[in-house]
């Protein structure tokens, strides 16, 4: 059996590299489409300021994208180096979307991003616009394939286990890519990227406006990003609801943990707004509830019962007992693949094969047939993820999402009234909003991934079986190496971003050193200033 | 000739959009929603920029020198 410290360190390593990597990804996803929107205005109106805007935001986009790719590449190798059993077990399914991502989306985005940056002089306006859209689609298609692969880990559809080859095999590619989880996950994640970009652009534009610099660009960018952001945030919330609904059907243990629901209650169940869950005592030490709200929120009905932790554990115990004969049959089949009795036994229990694996670590000599009821109960308790971490990760994401919606609604109102420059407090607040979507994104992933535990592939492959058998020293050394390297990447990104932002767009006399704000109020002042600048 | 070509390209785009709508509408309703939603978000943002210039009556700008 793989040393549990090695498994923990492998998990830490993946979590750390993924969370670092994901500091770059959402901005790339969203900024690409924002630049496309800016360039669309340039092509349709012919106004040079929009080209300047597109070039400026594209500069920041490229810095971010380059570091996103650098941090992402190592992760693809990590599957092979640190999760070799997992890679062998589901490589047939997992490999396909990953390869398509590399071949199609990655090449597409990398090729066109060069043209987007250096092609201004060589391409016509419309050709350049097309290239920018292809970059935007390419970056989001990259995300699509990775998210399809991740969705398979959350809701493994379109594949079945082959007891002869001892690995999962792809059954239906269309079920894999059109799974409800993959769809909702992609849209939620991609649009969360749009929200991130919109906050980033409004934050930097507000910074310029506050200092009365690059006003022509800042005002237009702010207006466009505010509209972009308000719609995107509404979308992210809608899709968040859909994802909770879809995910809840596929992963009831994740849902029970997210809502800190220890006991199954008759519908309609109460919603825990705040709680202090204790995994040891299997209850909330403190909770503030709103009655009747959880059931309609999660199931979109008033009558469907939501399974609590008690039900999850009882169900897991039953499934472990049913999965044990499947694991035992596999042992026979590994020596004699033609054994008809073993095959029949496997087929009638294979639905719970993963649960059978779950008890292996507790069974004497790892022989599941020797597992006692106490071992089964221990393994069943493992079937519930960390409730505290889940409950609060989810709430941080949702809370920040609602705060961002309020921010964008105000941003749109102020911008449409041409009043934003008079709202000094808002201009001061906006740059401080920039970290918010990044935090929400990270907590989103924590919700998704902690919630999948104890599985790497939900219901099929336990995490403790999935890792490679490295030494602890190797894992510690590589973890420190990654943290150091990625911290350097973050410092590089921040330094370059701050440098480019301080410098601002190449002005051509359109925005820089705008005249001092006239003593007119709101809209009239803004209109007067725009006339002067333009 | 140019107009005909443009017409054919736009028709082709429309057909592709309808086919995608039918296929994705059946099998991938959220993918379809992403497509439509992204188009809407981009276009509304773009309209916001264009509207800002048109509504506030700013003078037209030419290409910046040096490009
Ligand atoms: C406000 C309402 C929101 C709801 C109801 C919601 C719901 C969810 C749910 C249920 C998951 C877990 C998915 C899974 O189990 O696989 C999730 C994941 C995630 N969320 Fe949210 N979310 C919301 C807002 C946000 C915001 C504002 C952001 C970022 C700007 C965000 C970014 C993410 C990310 C990156 C993930 C992980 C990837 C994924 O599973 O899609 N979410 N969200």
When pLDDT is cut at 50, 70 and 90, the band that residue A58 belongs to is very high
Nearest residue of chain A to residue B58 (CA atoms): A531
Phi–psi pair at A363, nearest 5 degrees: -75, 145
- Contact predicate A194/A232, CB 8 Å: yes
pLDDT of A422 strictly over 70: yes
CB-nearest to B49 from A46, A220, A530 is: A220
List, in order, residues 6 or more apart from A67 with CB less than 8 Å away: A24, A489, A492, A493
List, in order, residues 6 or more apart from A405 with CB less than 8 Å away: A230, A233, A234, A237
Does ligand 1 have an atom closer than 6 angstroms to the CB of A185? yes
Which chain A residues touch B42 with a CB distance below 8 Å? 33, 36-37, 40, 228
The complex's ipTM? 0.88
What pLDDT does residue A527 have?
44
pLDDT of A398 strictly over 60: yes
User: Following DSSP, what letter does each residue of A124-180 receive, concatenated?
Assistant: -HHHHHHHHHHHHHHHHHHHHHHHHHHHHHHS--SEEEETTTTEEEE--HHHHHT-H
Give the gap in angstroms from C-alpha A90 to the nearest C-alpha of chain B: 24
What pLDDT does residue A533 have?
44
Nearest residue of chain A to residue B35 (CA atoms): A187
Taking an 8 Å cut-off on Cβ atoms, the answer to whether B44 and A231 are in contact is yes
Does ligand 1 have an atom closer than 6 angstroms to the CB of A188? yes
Tens digit of pLDDT for each residue in A236-269? 999 898 888 888 888 999 999 999 999 998 889 9
User: Following DSSP, what letter does each residue of A230-296 receive, concatenated?
Assistant: HHHHHHHHHHHHHHHHHHHHH-HHHHHHHTT--S--PSSPPEEEEEEEETTTTEEEEEEEETT-HHH
CB-nearest to B58 from A41, A232, A530 is: A530
DSSP state of A468: -
Number of residues in chain B: 67
pLDDT of B63 strictly over 50: no
- Contact predicate A216/A49, CB 8 Å: yes
pLDDT of B41 strictly over 80: yes
pLDDT of B64 strictly over 50: no
Q: What does the pLDDT average to over A479-486? A: 90
The protein residue whose alpha carbon is closest to atom 19 in ligand 1 is: A444
Does ligand 1 have an atom closer than 6 angstroms to the CB of A154? yes
Does ligand 1 have an atom closer than 6 angstroms to the CB of A397? yes
What pLDDT does residue B53 have?
84
Give the C-alpha separation, A450 to A448, whole Å.
6
Burial status of residue A344 (CB atoms within 10 A of its CB: 0-12, 13-18, 19 or more): exposed
In chain B, how many domains are there?
1
Domain boundary assignment for chain A: 4-251+392-503, 260-384
List, in order, residues 6 or more apart from A330 with CB less than 8 Å away: A163, A166, A342, A346, A353
A283 forms bridges with which residues in the sheet? A278
Give the C-alpha separation, A20 to A17, whole Å.
5
Tens digit of pLDDT for each residue in A1-52? 778 888 999 999 999 999 999 999 999 999 999 999 999 999 999 999 999 9
Q: What does the pLDDT average to over A195-221? A: 95
Between residues A231 and A74, the one the model is more confident about: A231
pLDDT of A526 strictly over 70: no
Taking an 8 Å cut-off on Cβ atoms, the answer to whether B64 and A228 are in contact is no
When pLDDT is cut at 50, 70 and 90, the band that residue B26 belongs to is low
Q: What does the pLDDT average to over A130-141? A: 93
The protein residue whose alpha carbon is closest to atom 26 in ligand 1 is: A401
Taking an 8 Å cut-off on Cβ atoms, the answer to whether A223 and B42 are in contact is no
A168 forms bridges with which residues in the sheet? A161
Which chain A residues touch B65 with a CB distance below 8 Å? 508
Select the highest-mean-pLDDT range: A170-179, A447-456, A470-479. A447-456
List, in order, residues 6 or more apart from A241 with CB less than 8 Å away: A297
Nearest residue of chain B to residue A216 (CA atoms): B53
3-state secondary structure A13-62: HHHHHHHHHCCCHHHHHHHHHHHHHHHHHHHHHCCHHHHHHHHHHHHHHH
Which residues of B make CB contacts under 8 Å with A?
Answer: 27-31, 33-34, 37-38, 40-50, 52-53, 56-67
What pLDDT does residue B66 have?
36
Give the C-alpha separation, A192 to A186, whole Å.
10
Nearest residue of chain A to residue B24 (CA atoms): A178
Nearest residue of chain B to residue A233 (CA atoms): B41
Closest alpha carbon to A253 in A455, A7, A90: A455
Does ligand 1 have an atom closer than 6 angstroms to the CB of A437? yes
Give the C-alpha separation, A339 to A346, whole Å.
11
pLDDT of B24 strictly over 90: no
Q: Is position B38 within any domain?
A: yes
Residue to mutate, A23, A243, A298, A389, ligand 1, most ligand atoms under 8 Å from C-beta: A243
Q: Is position B11 within any domain?
A: yes
Q: What does the pLDDT average to over A114-132? A: 92
Strands A461-462 and A159-162, by their bridges, are: unpaired
Mean pLDDT for all residues in chain A: 89
What pLDDT does residue B48 have?
93
B30 alpha carbon – ligand 1 mean position (Å): 15
Tens digit of pLDDT for each residue in A30-40? 999 999 999 99
Tens digit of pLDDT for each residue in A279-297? 999 999 999 999 998 998 8
A66 alpha carbon – ligand 1 mean position (Å): 25
Taking an 8 Å cut-off on Cβ atoms, the answer to whether B34 and A186 are in contact is yes
Q: What does the pLDDT average to over A93-102? A: 84
Q: What does the pLDDT average to over A55-72? A: 90
What pLDDT does residue A515 have?
41
Give the C-alpha separation, B7 to A301, whole Å.
48
Does ligand 1 have an atom closer than 6 angstroms to the CB of A244? yes
CB-nearest to B53 from A36, A45, A187 is: A45
Across A71-75, A119-123, A269-273, B45-49, least confident range: A71-75
CB-nearest to B61 from A38, A219, A534 is: A534
E strand map for A350-438 = none
Rounded to whole angstroms, what are the CA distances from A286 to A75, A262, A278, A297, A405?
A: 39, 13, 9, 22, 29
Residue A73: its H or E element:
helix A48-82
What pLDDT does residue B7 have?
83
The alpha carbon of residue A44 and the mean position of all alpha carbons in its chain are separated, in whole angstroms, by 34
Taking an 8 Å cut-off on Cβ atoms, the answer to whether B42 and A530 are in contact is no
- Contact predicate A227/A412, CB 8 Å: yes
pLDDT of A315 strictly over 80: yes
Question: Which tokens belong to A340?
Answer: 């008809």
Closest alpha carbon to A398 in A198, A239, A252: A239
pLDDT of A523 strictly over 70: no
Q: Is position B66 within any domain?
A: no
CB-nearest to A228 from B41, B56, B62 is: B41
pTM for this prediction: 0.89
Q: What does the pLDDT average to over A300-308? A: 90
pLDDT of A500 strictly over 60: yes
The protein residue whose alpha carbon is closest to atom 7 in ligand 1 is: A240
Q: Is position B35 within any domain?
A: yes
Q: What does the pLDDT average to over A354-361? A: 93
Give the mutation candidate from B35, B38, B66, B67 for the A interface (greatest A CB count, under 10 A). B38
Full residue range of the structural domain in which residue B19 is found: 2-61
Mean pLDDT for all residues in chain B: 76
Number of residues in chain A: 534
Question: How large a percentage of chain A has pLDDT more than 70?
Answer: 94
Q: What does the pLDDT average to over A204-213? A: 94
Q: What does the pLDDT average to over A435-454? A: 96
């Amino acid at each position: 059996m793989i040393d549990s410290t090695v498994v923990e360190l492998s998990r830490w390593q993946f979590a750390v590299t993924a969370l670092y990597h994901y500091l770059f990804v959402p901005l790339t996803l969203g900024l690409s489409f924002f630049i496309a929107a800016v360039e669309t205005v340039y092509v349709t109106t012919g106004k040079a300021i929009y080209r300047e805007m597109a070039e400026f935001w594209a500069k920041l986009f490229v810095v971010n994208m380059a570091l996103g790719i650098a941090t992402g590449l190592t992760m693809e190798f990590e599957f092979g180096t640190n999760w070799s059993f997992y890679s062998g077990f589901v490589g047939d399914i997992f490999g396909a979307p990953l390869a398509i991502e590399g071949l199609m989306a990655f090449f597409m985005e990398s090729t066109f991003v060069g043209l987007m940056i250096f092609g201004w002089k060589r391409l016509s306006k419309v050709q350049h616009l097309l290239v920018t859209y292809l970059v935007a689609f390419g970056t989001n298609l990259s995300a699509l394939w990775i998210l399809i692969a991740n969705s398979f880990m959350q809701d493994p559809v379109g594949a079945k286990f082959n007891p002869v080859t001892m690995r999962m095999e792809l059954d239906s590619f269309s079920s894999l890519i059109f799974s409800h989880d993959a769809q909702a996950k992609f849209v939620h994640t991609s649009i969360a990227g749009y929200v991130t970009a919109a906050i980033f652009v409004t934050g930097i534009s507000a910074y310029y406006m506050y200092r009365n610099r690059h006003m022509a660009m800042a005002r237009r960018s702010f207006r466009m990003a505010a509209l972009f952001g308000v719609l995107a945030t509404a979308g992210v919330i809608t899709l968040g609801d859909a994802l909770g609904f879809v995910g809840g059907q596929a992963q009831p243990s994740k849902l029970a943990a997210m809502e800190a629901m220890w006991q199954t209650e008759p519908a309609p169940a109460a919603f825990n707004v705040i709680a202090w869950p204790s995994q040891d005592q299997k209850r909330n030490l403190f909770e503030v509830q709103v009655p009747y709200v959880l059931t309609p929120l999660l199931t979109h009905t008033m009558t469907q019962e939501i399974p609590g932790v008690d039900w999850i554990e009882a169900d897991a115990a039953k499934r472990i007992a049913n999965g044990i004969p499947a694991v035992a049959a596999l042992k026979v089949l590994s020596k004699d693949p033609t054994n008809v009795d073993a095959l029949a036994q496997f087929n009638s229990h294979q639905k719970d094969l993963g649960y059978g694996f779950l008890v292996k670590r507790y069974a004497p000599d790892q022989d599941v047939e020797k597992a006692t009821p106490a071992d089964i109960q221990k393994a069943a308790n493992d079937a519930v993820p960390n409730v505290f971490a889940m409950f609060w990760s989810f709430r941080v994401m949702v809370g920040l999402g609602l705060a961002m919606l309020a921010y964008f609604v105000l941003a749109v109102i102020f911008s449409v009234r041409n009043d934003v420059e008079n709202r000094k407090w808002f201009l001061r607040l906006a740059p401080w909003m920039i970290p918010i979507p990044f935090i929400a994104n990270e907590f989103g992933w924590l919700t998704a991934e902690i919630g999948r535990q104890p599985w790497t592939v939900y219901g099929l492959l336990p995490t403790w079986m999935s890792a490679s058998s490295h030494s602890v020293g190797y894992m510690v050394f590589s973890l420190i190496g990654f943290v150091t390297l990625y911290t350097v990447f973050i410092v590089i990104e921040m330094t370059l971003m701050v440098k480019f932002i301080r410098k601002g767009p190449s002005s051509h006399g359109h925005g820089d050193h705008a005249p001092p704000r006239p003593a007119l109020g709101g809209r009239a002042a803004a209109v007067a200033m725009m006339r002067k600048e333009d | 000739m140019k107009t005909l070509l443009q017409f054919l390209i736009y028709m082709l785009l429309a057909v592709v959009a309808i086919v995608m709508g039918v296929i994705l509408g059946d099998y991938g309703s959220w993918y379809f929603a992403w497509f439509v939603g992204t188009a809407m978000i981009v276009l509304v943002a773009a309209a916001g920029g264009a509207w800002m210039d048109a509504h506030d009556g700013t003078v037209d700008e030419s290409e910046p020198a040096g490009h």
